[in-house]
Amino acid sequence: MDAGQVTFARRTTRQVTVGGVPVGGGAPITVQSMTTTKTADVDGTLQQIYDLAMAGCDIVRCTCNEPEAAEGLARIVPRSPVPIVADIHHQYRMALAALEAGVHCLRLNPGNIRNPEHIKLVASECRDRGVPIRIGVNGGSLDERLYQKYGGKVTPEAMVESAMTELAYFDEVGFDNVKISVKASNVPLMIEAYRQLSEATDHPLHLGVTEAGPGTSGLLKATAGIAALLAEGIGDTIRYSLTADPVEEARAGRQLLEALGLRERKNVDLIACPSCGRAEVDVIAVAEAAQAAFGDREIPLQVAVMGCVVNGPGEARDADLGIAAGNKRGHLFVRGTNVAVVPEDEMVETLVEWAEFIQEHGVERALARADLHAAKAAAEADRAALLDEQGDDANHSEQRVELIRKLT
Ligand code: SF4
């Protein structure tokens, strides 16, 4: 089977619709994030929502923690390019206010809104307005009663029970327009909680590792938890909870889905070799410059940056477009065929120019415009010169084999 055809079977869930965006029931997995502005700051929040939408975010959550925030939501919702979820903790009245503001979904934390009458009142209001609720269980704010019941520990069973108890309250008032999350900052705990939840219900699931933290460690924790579940077919919508600009969360979410083949590619998939002693250029710098040059531009091609012309073009032959360094020159190739040779300091701009051309006119036209003969001759000359310099066998295999033979 060709690598591009490998897909993960997804668990069947029912579907809810958040302001026109379907979640679950076979719909494409969506990316969510949360604004970090005060929701009462309407212009600042809308700016962030637009930035998030540009970065590939499908649904945005804003806190609704005070009356001014609810008033802000009333002004934000009609101007937002994506559906808005109001995040509610402790105060059920804020849920009612957010509904009045016209939000497309509520997130309730069953750990801190525990009065059944309040829960049922909010659910009835959502039922009448056709607005879904996310039951957002969080390991760090688990219902105290369940915490004690499970021995003073946050366990997957306790988190699932919290979600199922909330569902039962909703059921009493005939409301089932629900998606669920059982997030924890501990990755194995979160994975097991979602596994158990997916056995217990067919409501769509919102995945996340809560408080994943900053930088690389935050990205890794969130990716470990979310990707493990997605590969098992669990999860209908995802959020990276990073201590970072929320735009980074949206980018990470989108890129994870693209990497797993769960979402159609929107931007450049930049691949690059890890570099080694053969590298003829600073691969890290060129790859970062290329990444920055492509940014969020909608060019869904795979583009390769390779450190040497000896192995680069072969190893990246499946890329739509790539460049490999050799003898202070960049060797450009399209689907493995050399098409041009440019000075080293023009590698990135050449990549961008050819990517734009391919995006607009296709691979065939790109190959047709190239002087293939000259490019091939230049690539072969540089490759031969480098092999001559470094030797075909950088690992000195034959000498090693001789030594091993003497030893054995
Ligand atoms: S492409 Fe060349 S420089 Fe990059 S890792 Fe492979 S051999 Fe090393």
- pLDDT tens figures, 352-368: 999 999 999 999 999 99
In the block, tokens 């980074």 appear at: 248
Which two tokens mark 328? 């202070």
CATH topology of domain 11-259: TIM Barrel (3.20.20)
Work out the pLDDT band at 183, boundaries 50, 70, 90.
Answer: very high
What is the per-residue pLDDT for 396? Answer: 67
CB of 308 within 6 A of ligand 1: the answer is yes
What is the per-residue pLDDT for 397? Answer: 66
- Cβ-count burial of 368 within 10 angstroms (0-12 exposed, 13-18 middle, 19+ buried)? exposed
In the block, tokens 């990205």 appear at: 219
What is the per-residue pLDDT for 392? Answer: 57
CA of 228 to the centre of ligand 1 (A): 30
The yes-or-no verdict on residue 394 having pLDDT over 80 is: no
CB of 273 within 6 A of ligand 1: the answer is yes
Better pLDDT: 296 or 187? 187
CA of 387 to the centre of ligand 1 (A): 13
CA of 306 to the centre of ligand 1 (A): 6
What is the per-residue pLDDT for 381? Answer: 85
- For atom 5 of ligand 1, the residue with the nearest CA is 275
CA of 275 to the centre of ligand 1 (A): 5
CB of 274 within 6 A of ligand 1: the answer is yes
Which two tokens mark 374? 């000259």
Question: What span, in angstroms and rounded, lies between the C-alpha atoms of 334 and 332?
Answer: 7
CB of 186 within 6 A of ligand 1: the answer is no
Annotated domain spans of the chain: 11-259, 269-390
CA of 279 to the centre of ligand 1 (A): 6
Which two tokens mark 190? 């979160």
- pLDDT tens figures, 90-140: 999 999 999 999 999 999 999 999 999 999 999 999 999 999 999 999 999
- pLDDT tens figures, 66-95: 999 999 999 999 999 999 999 999 999 999
CB of 311 within 6 A of ligand 1: the answer is yes
Q: What are phi and psi of 5, to 5 degrees?
A: -95, -5
Specify the CATH number of the domain 269-390.
3.30.413.10
What is the per-residue pLDDT for 313? Answer: 82
Average pLDDT estimate for 156-181: 97
Q: Are residues 273 and 242 in contact, defined by beta-carbon separation less than 8 angstroms?
A: no
Better pLDDT: 373 or 70? 70
The yes-or-no verdict on residue 1 having pLDDT over 50 is: no
CA of 331 to the centre of ligand 1 (A): 14
Residue 32 one-letter amino acid: Q
The yes-or-no verdict on residue 249 having pLDDT over 80 is: yes
Length of the chain in residues, anyone?
408
Q: At what angle do helices 156-172 and 116-129 cross, to 10 degrees?
A: 60
- For atom 1 of ligand 1, the residue with the nearest CA is 312
Stretch among 62-66, 132-136, 179-183, 395-399 having the lowest mean pLDDT: 395-399
CB of 312 within 6 A of ligand 1: the answer is yes
Ligand 1 pocket test, candidate residues 271, 305, 310, most atoms within 8 A of CB: 310
In the block, tokens 């998606």 appear at: 179
Q: H or E stretch including 124?
A: helix 116-129
Measure CA 386 to chain center.
39
Better pLDDT: 351 or 391? 351
Q: What is the pTM of this model?
A: 0.86
Question: What span, in angstroms and rounded, lies between the C-alpha atoms of 282 and 279?
Answer: 7
111: which residues sit within 8 A by CB, 6+ positions away? Answer: 137, 138, 141, 142, 143, 162
- For atom 8 of ligand 1, the residue with the nearest CA is 276
Question: What span, in angstroms and rounded, lies between the C-alpha atoms of 118 and 254?
Answer: 36
Residue-averaged pLDDT of the chain: 93
Question: What span, in angstroms and rounded, lies between the C-alpha atoms of 110 and 339?
Answer: 60
The yes-or-no verdict on residue 192 having pLDDT over 50 is: yes
Which two tokens mark 61? 């959550």
CA of 392 to the centre of ligand 1 (A): 13
